[in-house]
């Protein structure tokens, strides 16, 4: 069984890895023996995670890059080739929501600025597609690889308030299926494309919606989420690790084109 999950020596690129969820993934994969390229728009956050991996005895390089800018992605690819080698695995973690694209008493749907909606859609969807174009080339050249996209609960059924973020994550689920088929039919039967759909994890991108900025108490929305999560709590970043390791390794060798919920039962519960 142990060998099934072996990812030692694999070269893994993780976008958004300066952040909470993907930073944790980077550290877990680094400690499992993978060589990790930690990509983030925030250079110091990327360097910090890479540094932590190296201090644990792993191999990692921090790389500043913007997932919306193909030039910086190509530059990142060159740097990774020099420092680690060709890329076997890509995790598309960069993503998030924006206050201005979220309805509220101050921001009615009718006034939501197109720029803010476009920003959220681009960051999540285009910011997933472009890295697949750039780093996927290595997988085609090597006749094998794995892409793991990061979807969300709102991809299955939209959540209130966050129209653009829900639509963009739904697009990621759809694109995951599309690219899984496209890679097999046109490039290699050994390139797999899947997604994880995390439930609710308290991080910087949703803290303003789930907790009160002043008191730290749960908001009404935060309470509703807990009430609709059969396990009655938010997830911990490390609770994505097992599913990620499964999908990246040979343990999931015949699995492609799916989105796996990791959500404490949220998507299974009708609320009644
Ligand atoms: P986070 O804000 O902690 O991390 C996101 C990271 O992406 C940040 O470090 C940020 O600097 C980086 N980033 C933003 N724009 C970028 C760009 N243009 N180019 C490169 N990097 C960029 O968020 P998180 O909660 O750790 O979320 C990680 C992923 O998980 C996101 O795709 C998010 O949508 C998804 N997700 C989160 C939750 C949750 O409950 N937190 C639930 C479902 C899905």
The response to whether residue 94 sits with its C-beta less than 6 Å from ligand 1 reads yes
Residue owning the nearest CA to atom 14 of ligand 1:
94
- Whether the Cβ atoms of residue 97 and residue 72 lie closer than 8 Å to each other: no
The response to whether residue 13 sits with its C-beta less than 6 Å from ligand 1 reads no
Catalytic residues: 165
The response to whether residue 138 sits with its C-beta less than 6 Å from ligand 1 reads no
Domains and CATH numbers, the chain: 3-268 (3.40.50.720)
DSSP 128-150: HHHHHHHHHHHHHHHT-EEEEEE
Residue owning the nearest CA to atom 3 of ligand 1:
19
pLDDT tens per residue, range 65-100? 999 999 999 999 999 999 999 999 999 999 999 999
pLDDT tens per residue, range 225-242? 999 999 999 999 999 999
Q: What is the pLDDT of residue 202?
A: 87
Q: What distance in Å separates the CA atoms of residue 222 and residue 215, rounded to the nearest whole number?
A: 13
Output phi, psi for 270, to 5 deg.
-80, -15
Q: How far is the CA of 75 from the centre of ligand 1 (A)?
A: 21
Inform me whether the pLDDT recorded for 2 exceeds 70.
Answer: no
What does each C-alpha distance from 88 to 29, 91, 208, 213 come to in angstroms?
Answer: 13, 10, 36, 41
Average pLDDT over residues 147-164: 96
- To the nearest whole number, what is the mean pLDDT of the chain? 96
Output phi, psi for 113, to 5 deg.
-70, 135
Q: How far is the CA of 16 from the centre of ligand 1 (A)?
A: 6
Q: How far is the CA of 92 from the centre of ligand 1 (A)?
A: 9
| For the CA of 95, the nearest atom of ligand 1 | 32
Inform me whether the pLDDT recorded for 10 exceeds 70.
Answer: yes
Q: What distance in Å separates the CA atoms of residue 135 and residue 73, rounded to the nearest whole number?
A: 8
Residue owning the nearest CA to atom 17 of ligand 1:
66
The response to whether residue 62 sits with its C-beta less than 6 Å from ligand 1 reads no
Inform me whether the pLDDT recorded for 216 exceeds 90.
Answer: no
Q: What distance in Å separates the CA atoms of residue 24 and residue 52, rounded to the nearest whole number?
A: 11
| For the CA of 67, the nearest atom of ligand 1 | 19
Inform me whether the pLDDT recorded for 1 exceeds 60.
Answer: no
């Amino acid at each position: 069984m142990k060998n099934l999950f072996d990812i030692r020596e694999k070269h893994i690129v993780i976008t958004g890895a300066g952040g909470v969820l993907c930073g944790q993934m980077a550290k877990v994969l680094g400690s499992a023996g993978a060589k990790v390229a930690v990509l983030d728009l925030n250079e110091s956050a990327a360097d910090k995670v890479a540094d932590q991996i190296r201090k644990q005895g792993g191999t990692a390089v921090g790389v500043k890059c913007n997932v919306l800018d193909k030039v910086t992605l190509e530059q990142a690819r060159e740097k990774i080739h020099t420092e680690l080698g060709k890329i076997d695995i890509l995790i598309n973690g960069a993503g998030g929501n924006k206050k201005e694209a979220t309805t509220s008493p101050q921001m009615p749907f009718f006034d939501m600025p197109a720029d803010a909606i476009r920003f959220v859609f681009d960051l999540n969807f285009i910011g997933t597609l472009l890295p697949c174009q750039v780093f996927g080339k290595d997988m085609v050249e090597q006749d094998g690889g794995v892409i793991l996209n990061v979807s969300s609960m709102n991809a299955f059924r939209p959540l209130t308030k966050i129209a653009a973020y829900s639509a963009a994550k739904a697009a990621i689920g759809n694109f995951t299926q599309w690219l899984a088929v496209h890679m097999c039919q046109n490039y290699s039967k050994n390139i797999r494309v899947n997604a994880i759909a995390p439930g609710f994890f308290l991080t910087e991108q949703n803290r303003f919606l789930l907790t009160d900025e002043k008191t730290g108490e749960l908001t009404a929305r935060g309470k509703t989420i807990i009430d609709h999560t059969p396990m009655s709590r938010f997830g911990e970043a490390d609770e994505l690790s097992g599913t990620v390791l499964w999908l990246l390794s040979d343990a999931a060798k015949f699995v492609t084109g799916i989105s796996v919920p990791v959500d404490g039962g949220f998507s299974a519960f009708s609320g009644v």
